[in-house]
Amino acid sequence: MAQEIERKFLVKGDGWRKLASGVLYSQGYLSTVKERTVRIRIQNNEATLTIKSITKGISRSEFEYCIPLADAEIMLKQLAVQPIIKKYRYRIPVDDVVWEIDEFLCANQGLIIAELELQSPDQIFRLPDWIGQEVSADPRYYNNNLVKKPFTEW
């Protein structure tokens, strides 16, 4: 079992765009209940099944497994809560950490979030100038909630 310790921030400006190229992600949820989420994700012709526990503070348990691409495609079309999430992910190293910038498409168009996975909740890191307001504690920004209430409907 892995422990995910993650912080989320809104992104401001376009200064980050020249630092990385994006990879298209398609992901959907088989379960979006508060106690657990079950996600199917496809990126770079690879597929994963991820199960996450309820978030406590900024951490939660996470289990991730590779699955056949054909199975993931069927699950996204036939089993996942709709609409599925489509986004470009950019990975930007800054000092000792890697920022993951998600630029959402479709029903979540216009939303850009930076996520940072930490080794411990009290890990110190530098905020690049393109990082805006922290939204770690706001459940509206969780991907599984963006399926239920997309950003364009706020």
How far is the C-alpha of 150 from the C-alpha of 66, rounded, in Å? 27
State the first-to-last Cα distance of the chain, in angstroms, to the nearest integer.
35
Catalytic: 29? yes
Which entry of 25, 29, 90, 142 is annotated as an active-site residue?
Answer: 29
Cis bond before residue 121 (omega within 30° of 0): no
Helix/strand/coil for 17: helix
DSSP structure string for 115-130: EEE-SSTT---PPPTT
The span from the CA of 26 to the CA of 40, in Å, is 8
Catalytic center residues: 29
